[in-house]
């Protein structure tokens, strides 16, 4: 594709609607940001890894539009996704007497996006912000849909807001600097959309895994666009996750247990979700919802993406019990009952509880 050409996916949420722009080289062009609300000041929030690579490029694209373009690089990593780091954003905004028309730009992965979004939701009770995701995972999942937040010592993403950006800018050219492991982690969230909503897309992913892993631009653009379309369709029906939206958490209940059990950061989120999808598909099979062929096929695709498909041991004595205990702490649990996202036939997801004994069997069968 030619540089600066782009595709658009619209998120339809009445007065909170916004476009996702997808293309190669979007950050080079001031025109990318032409539709944004006017203001005197832009604050680019990034992290110490991404800032040296891309912040100059974004700042120069914004320079003609805002009188002041301020920059803040947060420490990099999930372990910094807490109040003290969030407060660095408020300190910067107030030290520069930024008013209600200040526009925040989240330039980075999911951690930067979640924190910048929550800062935008909360500063003066809400200022506009733009997501500029620099990881594949953030482009296809975390930057879209308005979930923002920080962690608490007792739980991940426990404090936050549903707050929609003005625009999401997915410049797939930025992905070339990603470590291979993070590309695979992003592919997990792309694969996810297949079993829950679109088996044709799953077949396309299956047939195009080598170009996807190699970040071939046309393949990546299509995968990002279709993922965003499917997410837009779900979020458009259930912005605040009172029902349908929870299907986007396919693989996440087991995945969160893996992340929490190993200590956050040991496995990447996408790696835990990849393995978690195998476990959730296996549970679906044991409940008679899908056949063994479906589980095998999904497992092969996840493996081809470079992701783990066997769960780690979280305890030597009662591994399944440890998984269960961690899953009962999930945000989606209600009064201690775990609500699994299961595949109710290929391309269709359902939320339901499952008997502990069966879940234990699945964990025993799926772990190393």
Told to judge if 38 belongs to the known catalytic residues of this protein, a careful annotator would answer: no
What strands lie across the sheet with 167-171, from one edge to the other?
7-11, 18-23, 167-171, 129-133, 103-108, 41-47, 68-74
Catalytic residue among 81, 192, 226, 231: 231
Near its own copies by CB under 8 A, which window of 115-123, 265-273, 305-313, 354-362? 115-123
**Cβ proximity to its own copies, 239 vs 271, nearer residue:** 239
Told to judge if 189 belongs to the known catalytic residues of this protein, a careful annotator would answer: yes
Angle at 77 between CA 73 and CA 79, to 5 degrees: 120
**Cβ proximity to its own copies, 106 vs 307, nearer residue:** 106
| 38 touches its own copies (CB under 8 A) | no
Q: Please, what is the minimum distance in Å from the beta carbon of residue 40 to its own copies?
A: 5
Return the residue of 147, 226, 256, 286 that touches its own copies, per CB under 8 A.
147
Residue 342 in contact with residue 283, Cβ under 8 Å?
A: yes
**Cβ proximity to its own copies, 333 vs 354, nearer residue:** 333
Told to judge if 101 belongs to the known catalytic residues of this protein, a careful annotator would answer: no
Catalytic residue among 189, 229, 259, 271: 189
Return the residue of 1, 5, 30, 158 that touches its own copies, per CB under 8 A.
158
x/- track of binding to its own copies for residues 95-114 (CB under 8 A): x-x-xxx-------------
73: three-class secondary structure by DSSP:
strand
DSSP element (H, E) containing 205? helix 199-207
Rounded to the nearest 10 degrees, how much is the dihedral formed by the CA atoms of 298, 346, 329, 235?
A: 110
337: three-class secondary structure by DSSP:
strand
- Residues 209 to 238: which contact its own copies by CB under 8 A? none
Told to judge if 329 belongs to the known catalytic residues of this protein, a careful annotator would answer: no
Q: Please, what is the minimum distance in Å from the beta carbon of residue 197 to its own copies?
A: 23
Residue with tokens 């929490």: 260
Catalytic residue among 252, 259, 271, 319: 252
Residue with tokens 């969030």: 86
x/- track of binding to its own copies for residues 302-341 (CB under 8 A): ---------------------------x-x-xxxx-----
Size of the site for its own copies (CB under 8 A): 36
β-pairing verdict for 103-108 and 68-74? unpaired
**Cβ proximity to its own copies, 21 vs 104, nearer residue:** 104
Rounded CA gap, 46 and 43, in Å? 10
Rounded CA gap, 348 and 21, in Å? 27
Told to judge if 300 belongs to the known catalytic residues of this protein, a careful annotator would answer: no
| 152 touches its own copies (CB under 8 A) | yes
Rounded CA gap, 282 and 263, in Å? 24
**CA atoms within 13 Å, Cβ hemisphere of 279:** 35
Near its own copies by CB under 8 A, which window of 54-62, 154-162, 225-233, 263-271? 154-162
Q: Please, what is the minimum distance in Å from the beta carbon of residue 160 to its own copies?
A: 5
Told to judge if 241 belongs to the known catalytic residues of this protein, a careful annotator would answer: yes
Q: Tally Cβ neighbours within 10 Å of residue 73.
A: 19
Rounded CA gap, 222 and 228, in Å? 10
Contacts of 305 (CB under 8 A, 6+ apart): 184, 187, 188, 191, 209, 212, 213, 274
| Active-site residue list | 125, 147, 189, 231, 241, 245, 249, 252, 256, 269
In the complex, the residues that contact its own copies under the rule CB under 8 A are 40, 83, 87, 90-91, 94-95, 97, 99-101, 121-126, 147-149, 152, 154-155, 158-162, 240-241, 329, 331, 333-336
């Amino acid at each position: 594709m030619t540089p600066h050409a782009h595709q658009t996916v619209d998120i339809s949420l009445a007065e909170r609607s916004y476009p996702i722009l997808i293309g190669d080289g979007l950050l080079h062009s001031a025109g990318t940001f032409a539709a944004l609300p006017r203001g005197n000041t832009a604050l680019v929030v990034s992290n110490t890894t991404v800032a040296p690579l891309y912040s100059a490029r974004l700042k120069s694209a914004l320079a003609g539009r805002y009188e002041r373009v301020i920059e803040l690089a947060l420490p990099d990593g999930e372990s910094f996704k807490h109040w003290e780091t969030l407060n660095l954003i408020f300190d910067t905004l107030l030290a520069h007497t930024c008013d209600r028309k200040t526009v925040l730009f989240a330039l980075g992965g999911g951690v930067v996006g979640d924190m910048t979004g929550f800062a935008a939701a909360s500063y003066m009770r809400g200022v506009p912000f733009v997501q500029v995701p620099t990881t594949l995972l953030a482009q296809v999942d975390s930057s879209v849909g308005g979930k923002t937040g920080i962690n608490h010592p007792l739980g991940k993403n426990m404090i936050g807001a549903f707050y929609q950006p003005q625009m999401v800018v997915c410049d797939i050219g930025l992905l070339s600097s990603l470590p291979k492991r993070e590309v695979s982690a992003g592919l997990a969230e792309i694969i996810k959309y297949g079993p829950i909503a679109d088996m044709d897309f799953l077949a396309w992913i299956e047939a195009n895994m080598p170009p996807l892993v190699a970040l071939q631009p046309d393949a990546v653009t299509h995968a990002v666009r279709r993922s965003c379309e499917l997410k837009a369709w779900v979020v458009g029906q259930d912005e605040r996750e009172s029902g349908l939206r929870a299907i986007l958490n396919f693989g996440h209940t087991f995945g969160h247990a893996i992340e929490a059990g190993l200590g956050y950061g040991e496995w990447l989120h996408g790696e835990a979700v990849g393995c978690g999808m195998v476990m959730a598909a296996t549970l679906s099979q044991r409940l008679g919802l899908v056949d063994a062929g479906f589980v095998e096929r999904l497992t092969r695709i996840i493996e081809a993406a470079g992701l783990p498909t066997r769960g780690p041991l979280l305890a030597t004595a009662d591994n399944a019990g440890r998984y269960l205990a961690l899953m009962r702490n999930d945000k989606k649990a209600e009064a201690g009952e775990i609500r699994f996202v299961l595949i109710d036939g290929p391309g269709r997801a359902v939320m339901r509880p499952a008997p502990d004994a069966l879940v234990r069997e699945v964990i025993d069968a799926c772990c190393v």
